[in-house]
Each structure stands twice: as structure tokens, then as C-alpha cells.
Amino acid sequence: MTTKNQLPTIKRFISISILVLLLWNVQAQQSYFTQDYSYEVIPSFSEEEVKSRVASLNLCIPPKYDNIVKSYVNTYMVKDRDKARAIIGRTVQFFPIFEKYIAEKGLPKDLKYVSVLESALNPAAESRSKAVGLWQFMEATAKGYDLQVNSTVDERKDPHRATQAALRYLQRLHDRYGDWALALAAYNGGPGRVNRAIKRGRSKNFWSIQKYLPKETRNYIPAFFAAAYLINYYQDHAIAGDYPDLDMQLTDVVKVYRTLSFEEIAQIAGVPYPTIEALNPSYKKRIIPSSPRGNYLILPQRVMGTFMQYLKYPDSQAQATFASSSIQVQRHPNDYFYKTRYVVQQNDNIHTIASVFKCSSYNIRAWNGLGSDYLADGQELTIYQPFISTEYNSEFYPNTTTTKIINTTPTLPKPILRKYETVSIATLPLENIGEQKAKESVRSIYNLTSEKYLYYRMVKGESLTQVAAKFPGVNLEDILVLNDFPNKKQRLKPGSRIKIKPL
């Protein structure tokens, strides 16, 4: 029971508590208005729109939309957008390699999406079951496909060797089942599980035997559709790739046959040690061992000429081990590139332009904020090209552990402009593409493109009138004039990109 003597004390305590709460609330409000918050605008689409896009994907397995596909798409586009950004950023490194070997074997181009499922395009990925690399090989399976796994090298992490092995395995599985859905299921769960499911379901149709497979394998084909959706429609969901430095994007590969340390390569080529490490993750001890069949070495495109000259004319101390303490590269890797401008001409396509500029279509898409390979006549493209170094002089590359051989302020050579007239716009240090994400406080579909227009990608069965209705203040006539379309019945393929309005 509260006495009369206690009442003043209680009232005083309540008053002080209320005052503290009021002060705290004012401070919190001030903090709210002064604190720097970052927001991300995530576009929303109806399920019918997503379903239509999935149906329009041209894949080796006829696309099928269901709740599992819906869940995976939602994970990429909403729940785990950082992972999606990382995957898109890595496409510039690995998809050109995949497509090269896929084309050589005459296999479906969309098999590249398998690596998205297996490793999120991370060559260092390792599963709980000890599967490793871009294509997630178990050690026993890897050795069965001529991949070396020993104390010095793990070729499951080699983008070239592992890709060649994975494609041989996938081709073998397809030859066995005559169906890509079953081949991919067997790649994930093993032929034994697929064979048992075929026997139980008395069918060689994946969807008929799906319920007899383990959950992960059961969901593998829906996950494949979702991965394809991510790569083809990420920009529509306001996802920007987390792209690496230009030295990691524009690379060449060479086979070397003798022992070479990363320190030696770094000094010869003038490339930062971490770049060599990141490009060549399969070498456990930072040493490329000697091999009669040759080992792959990936280097930035700009220095491959210099390294090739060294291989032809090594100095007398070539077998010495270099010390990493002697390597000093003060300039940012992107300082060794210049930016050119190219205006798309009639009959151009992204692949021919990429071939001319010694890059890939994925590079051009990354540099220009493009969500697809579609280019419009008159569209201006930004292209990055390296200052190519091809001269090697052993007098300037001494094989010692004490001389600092990298000039910290080198004189950059005059850029060589190739076919297609280009204009050198800047030779100043370029912005690190990978830092763009950190600099953006607000990201939306409106600022993901370098052009000064809002673009839209057509959905299957959609008319221009329906598109115009989606954007306030835009009518059909605006779209026809802006895109130079002759009439409102203009037929456009699903995925075609059109201008909506100036930004």
C-alpha cells in the first residue's frame, strides 16, 4: 500500500521519466532527419508478367512456370539482391569462356546457366559435400574427367579446364538420356537417382518422374528457369551488376609449360599480385607447376603481349623465385584503359562490335547499362580499351629480389584505334566500375542506363497501347514518334527494348 509520504516521490519519478522520454523522442526525430539513409527502389510486377517472360525464354528445356520458379525468382529479385548483383557482375568474366567452349562442342548456349545454379559463378565455391568450383565437381568425378586435384593445383577452380570437363559430362548425360531436363537432373543428383526415378515413374519425362527425385534435384529444372530469368531480366528489376575492375574483365589466356611463380609473373607483366591470384584461383601455392600438357594462365589483356615476349626470350635467371616484396604497383589497374565512343550503324550487332573492339558482348552490356543484346541504330556506346604493351626487355625486368621494377608513374603509350572510327575521349584514370554500388544512395530502373531515356522491354502478346498505359503522361503517339515507328500496329518481338520518354 502506498503511503501519503511516498506520493511526492512517485510523482517526481513519473515526471522525470516522462521528461526523459520526451527528450529521447526529440533526439530520435533529429537523428532520423539528419542521418543518411540509403534506399533501394524494387520494382514490382504482376505474376502474369513474370510468367509471360519465363514463357518467352528460348531454352533447351521448354520453360514451365510454377510456384518453385516463382520462389527462386523472388529470391533473386527481392530477397537476395546482393547475390544477384554479384552473379551479374561475374558474367563478364565467365560467360564468354563458357560460350566459347559451348560453341566449339555445338551444345545449347543456355547450359551456361548451370554454373549459376551450381556456384553463383564463383570459382572458389565449395559445398558442404566438398564439391568445388564453378561447376561443383566432386573430387572423384573431377579426376574421371582429367581434372587434376593435388597439393599444388585444383583444376575444379580453373575456369577453362573445369568448363571443358563440365561440358563433356553434360554431353555424355544428354547422349545417355536424349533429354536435357534429365541430363541436368543427373548432373545435379547423379545418374543413379535419375535411373531409379525413371524406373519408378515408368517414364523418361522429367515432369512425370519429378516426385521420385530428391528435393534438390526435383527443384533443379525450375531453378534453371529462374537463373535464365535473372540473366535476361535483371535490369527490369532494377538490379545493377557488381562488376570487377577492367583488368578482371578484359583478359587473355595462354598455356605455360614450365614452373612460374605468381611473383615472377607479377614482375614480368607489371600486374598487381592480387589480380593474378583472383584470375587464377586453381593454383594452391601461387605457383604454376611444370606440365607437359600445359597449364592455363589468365592475365589482363593489356599485358599478355609483354608476357608472351618474356616466354620467348627469358633471361638466364628465369628459374629464380621472385619475392613479392619487390613488387610495387601504385597505379589503379583502371588507369591503363581509355574510353572510346562508338555510334551504332545500320546492320551492326553487339557481337560484331565486340569482336572489333576485342571484348565480349557482356562487357558492352556492362559498360552501357544494357539489359539485353539489343542495339538501336544511332545509339552511342561507351567502349573501354587497354593500352596494349607488347615489348619485353630483360634489362628492365631483372630477376632479382631487391630491385623495384615497376615504374610507379609510367608513360602510357598512345592508344591504337582499331577499325570502326573511334574517338579517344579520356586518358585520365577511370572510375572503378565495382565502386558504383557503394556510391549510389538510391537505385531504380530510371538510373540504371547511361542513355538519357527511360526504356521498356516488351512482353509477349503486349501492344504498344498497353505499354503506354503503364506510364503516366505517356501516350501511344509519344512512343511512335520517339522510336520512329511508322504506325501503332508495329510488331515487336518479346524482349525488344523501346524508348518511353526522356529522363
318 and 384 fall within a common domain: no
Question: Could you give phi then psi for residue 379, rounded to 5 degrees?
Answer: -70, 135
344 and 307 fall within a common domain: no
Please check whether residue 15 lies inside any domain of the structure.
Answer: no
Please check whether residue 411 lies inside any domain of the structure.
Answer: yes
Rounded CA separation 190/176 (Å): 13
- Asked if residue 149 lies in contact with residue 156, where contact means CB atoms within 8 angstroms, the answer is yes
Q: What is the CATH number of the domain that holds 80?
A: 1.10.530.10
Exactly one of 47, 49, 99, 118 is catalytic; which is it?
A: 118
Instruction: Note the pLDDT of residue 38.
Output: 46
pLDDT tens column, 86-124: 999 999 999 999 999 999 999 999 999 999 999 999 999
- Asked if residue 50 lies in contact with residue 70, where contact means CB atoms within 8 angstroms, the answer is yes
67 and 183 fall within a common domain: yes
Domain that holds residue 497: 452-502
68 and 138 fall within a common domain: yes
- Asked if residue 277 lies in contact with residue 364, where contact means CB atoms within 8 angstroms, the answer is no
140 and 162 fall within a common domain: yes
Examine the residue annotation and report whether 118 is marked as an active-site residue of this protein: yes
114 and 157 fall within a common domain: yes
Instruction: Note the pLDDT of residue 283.
Output: 97
At 28 the three-state DSSP class reads helix
Per the structure, the count of domains in the chain is 4
Rounded CA separation 358/379 (Å): 20
DSSP symbols for 403-456: ---S-SSPPPPPP---SS--EEEE-SPPP-GGGHHHH-SEE-GGGSSSSSEEEE
493 and 425 fall within a common domain: no
pLDDT tens column, 144-165: 999 999 999 999 999 999 999 9
C-alpha cell at 382: 561507351
pTM comes to 0.71
85 and 213 fall within a common domain: yes
Instruction: Note the pLDDT of residue 4.
Output: 54
62 and 206 fall within a common domain: yes
270 and 413 fall within a common domain: no
- Given a cut of 70, the residues of the chain with pLDDT beneath it are 1-40, 313-334, 389-453, 472-473, 488-489, 495, 503
299 and 377 fall within a common domain: no
Instruction: Note the pLDDT of residue 346.
Output: 82
Instruction: Note the pLDDT of residue 308.
Output: 85
145 and 56 fall within a common domain: yes
